[in-house]
Amino acid sequence: MSDTASFLGSVPLLAGIADGDLAELAALLRPRVLGAGDVIWREGERADAMHIVVDGNVAVSLSLPGDSETQVATVGPGEVLGEIALLDGGRRSGTARATEPTRVLLLGRSDFAALVSRRHPTAFALKRRFADVACQRLRTQLARLAASLGDGDGAGGEPLEHPRAELEPSGAPDSRYVRRLADFRAVEPLALWGFLTAGRYMRCAAGRTLIAEGEPATACYVTMNGAVERVIVRRGRRIRVGLAGPGRAFGHESLIDGAPSPVTETTRERALLLVVPRDAFEPLYHGETAGSHVFLDVILRDLMASLRQALRPQAHLASRRAWAADPPAPT
Amino acid sequence: MCRVLGYLGEPLSLTQVLFDSDSSLVRQTYNPRMMPTFLNLAGFGMAAWEPHSIEPEDPLTYRSTTLPAFDRNLRSLARKLAPTCLVAHVRGVTNDEDVLVGETNLHPFRFAGSRVVLAHNGHLRDFGRMRYDLLEYIGPELARRIEGTTDSEWIYALVLSRLTDPYGTPEADELADAAASTLRILRDVRARHGIDTSSPANLCLTTGRDLVATRFSFDYGWYPDEDALLETDLPYVSLWYTVAGDTRRSVLIASEPLTLDTTGWLEVPEYSVVTARTVAGGVDVQTLDLDV
């Protein structure tokens, strides 16, 4: 086994992956050596690779209006950063900079895409691990936002802003409409059908609580029509951390990691939802069918979008703090 | 579906934001980056406040259905102007025989004598069914001034009718309240007619001194069958802002960032209103939930 493959065996993200598969993965990785202060990528650049930190340390920061920035994460040995690049190939949501001499291993997006197209088991195992990592990062990010509202003891005892949802069974949406949703446009019809028949369709009025923060979720949802907002509320103050419109999933964090829901999910508009209960979620999320792959991609896309959306209020808060420290005088 | 730009602060190079930046407002007529299925070729309009001009409290207004990329008059004007407040707009419409492209339908709207101008990024589906029910909420002398055929000009008349003095100079709070009140009227009239499909209403209002912008959609996520605008309306209609300098000397609000590098731009949350007011040494920017 090569040194790289041995190191990969110690990376928590890759725990449980067979030695042969790790050796195959090691052959795809490219090493990079960085000095203290070196920028790995800048916010807004096209994302093309995931990085695994071998040793050293990397800080991730967000730019703010007015030529300032705020640090949002640090990543050390054995941890990964930039995994979003492998999944959606979007633009970098922050700037990554080595804070000391650092060595990293790169997995390029095209190499990962090749694994996926071969339906290599490592690709799907990695995708599920990415979901775990994204869940963990999202929870950390949301906890920071909650703290900004003066959260002392965490969620609990906070009265619901809206009454509990009463779901009314409904027929499925028109398939021509579903196929026009951006998230489903490129999906094979059979795989899409497998995914769309995994749960039941329900209607819900606007202003109803589907999942309360701190409670275990019993199902995950995909919005087909309408919009669901994700909020954190503390002592009557609230931050909206995301909005799930058509094609977007929500409520899956608890089903992935078994912890309570990190946010309250409330219908902002009346909504038509695909409801996937826990007993249907498990085989779909862990399965190897075409429908499972579509479902996994929907969940991952939503986690990535949620992570990006959750950075948004933090940037607003940091921007406001900078303002409060040095405001112009009123006329 | 249009693109809009609002600015408040230190004198601004108009050429820079209209033509020169790598995702400038004029480039967004033929290459909008956040609205890939739609172009904005139905005309350009702006209101610009120049502190050293005659009667500086009145804006210079310019509207033309000429494609702005080929409008030499606009380029010449832009080179000479450095406004401290600006609302500019490029109009996008569907290829529909009921749609009229003409000067009276170009934003921003400003009735003679009024200090308030308004530009709209969005559209009210089924507006024809509800249009005349709005008359009961519009002052008669303001209703008589409506010249064009757009939903946006009616929204403008509604906003003016919500102000204590439609010809006064309201501050940011009053402008924001008038915008929210207008959206509530539209919500109620839509409900009366059973109109329940997605209708974005990003409004940009200013007096030349304060600036207010909403990011809002009625019934987001619901569309008519076989809808030509579905792909355009599926993402929540966008709105971004940025400020210049550590001490916030100015604020720029736009449907999408004016630069390919979006670093330093913040996305305005959905269902929100941004207010910017002139203060000594800069502008004070606030983002608030829109309770509609």
Q: Testing the interface with A: which of B241, B263, B284 to mutate, by most A Cβ within 10 A? A: B263
Contact B212, B241 (CB under 8 A): no
Out of A91, A180, A331, name the one closest to residue B231 (CB). A180
pLDDT tens digits, A40-95: 998 888 888 999 999 999 999 988 776 678 888 899 999 999 887 677 667 787 89
User: Which pLDDT value is given to residue A319?
Assistant: 60
How far apart, in whole angstroms, are the C-alpha atoms of residue B232 and residue B21? Answer: 24
User: Which pLDDT value is given to residue A329?
Assistant: 43
Greater pLDDT, A316 or A186: A186
pLDDT tens digits, B20-75: 999 999 999 998 888 877 888 889 999 999 999 999 999 999 999 999 999 999 99
Length, in residues, of chain B: 292
Judged against a pLDDT cut of 80, whether residue A328 lies above it is answered with no
- For the residues A154-173, what does the mean pLDDT come to? 84
ipTM score here? 0.91
| Residue in A with minimal Cα distance to B235 | A245
Q: Which two tokens stand for residue B16?
A: 């820079």
Interchain CB distance below 8 Å, A44 and B287:
no
How far apart, in whole angstroms, are the C-alpha atoms of residue A214 and residue A254? Answer: 10
Tell me if residue B266 falls in helix, strand or coil: strand
Out of B245, B271, B287, name the one closest to residue A316 (CB). B287
pTM for the whole thing?
A: 0.88
Interchain CB distance below 8 Å, B222 and A174:
no
What percentage of residues in chain A have a pLDDT greater than 90?
38
How far apart, in whole angstroms, are the C-alpha atoms of residue B118 and residue B153? Answer: 8
* Closest CA of chain B from A56, distance in Å: 26
How far apart, in whole angstroms, are the C-alpha atoms of residue A48 and residue B115? Answer: 50
Chain A contacts in chain B segment 56-75 (CB below 8 A)? none
* Closest CA of chain A from B256, distance in Å: 14
DSSP A248: -
Expressed in angstroms, the distance from the first to the final Cα of chain A is: 71
Mean pLDDT of chain A: 85
How far apart, in whole angstroms, are the C-alpha atoms of residue B111 and residue B153? Answer: 10
Please give the interface size between A and B, counted as residue pairs whose CB atoms are below 8 Å apart.
111
